[in-house]
Amino acid sequence: MTRCPRERGDAQRREQRMLHAWTVEEVAGIIGVPYRTVRRWLAQGLVCLRLHKVPQPRERLRLVQDDVEELWAIAALRQQGVSMQRLRRILVRLAGMRLSEFKAILVDGDDVIGVREQGDLPPVWERLTDGQILIRLETIRERLTDSPGERLGEAWELLLRAEEVGFGV
């Protein structure tokens, strides 16, 4: 039995929307940070995971793209020598932003600015002027495309979408 073109198109759109998740080990390899460092950042609550509101010590965590992008930004800032104290202040600013809406973020002191237009962005973690750091989010998105991770079911997707809309799940 063959599907009609409309059904095939619906299936393709559903596949594109399907959420993917990565383990902590996979994320550590993708962002270039030791596994134990990523676990420590998660235990310290630097990233609020979308699938695991209160991660348990021995729990097999699965991270979605938003989680990975936040960890990528943290790794980039630490690589540039940003102290943990300053990093926490920056993360407060990042908490109000959805990184998925931006091509890059610019950190200037404790201020965080989202860059929506591609324009002529400098290389990944180049310092612009003294104290400014540009983090290209497109780079991590390309890496995640190369390592697609585990597909999550539609139930997870519905749960996350309900949280975004504010159904208090």
Structural domain includes residue 165: no
Structural domain includes residue 64: yes
Question: What contacts 26, CB < 8 A, 6 or more positions away?
Answer: 147, 149
Please give the Cα distance from 109 to 86 (Å, whole number).
9
> What is the domain extent for residue 67?
5-154
Count of domains in the chain? 1
| 48-94: pLDDT as tens digits | 888 777 666 677 888 988 899 989 999 998 998 889 998 888 888 87
**Which residues is 111 bridged to in the sheet?**
108
Structural domain includes residue 169: no
pTM of the model: 0.71
Domain of 25, CATH number, reads 1.10.1660
Structural domain includes residue 46: yes
Q: What does residue 21 show for φ and ψ, rounded to 5 degrees?
A: -135, 155
Say if residues 69 and 85 touch (Cβ distance below 8 Å): no
| 82-139: pLDDT as tens digits | 899 988 888 888 777 777 778 888 888 777 888 876 655 554 445 456 668 888 888 8
Structural domain includes residue 141: yes
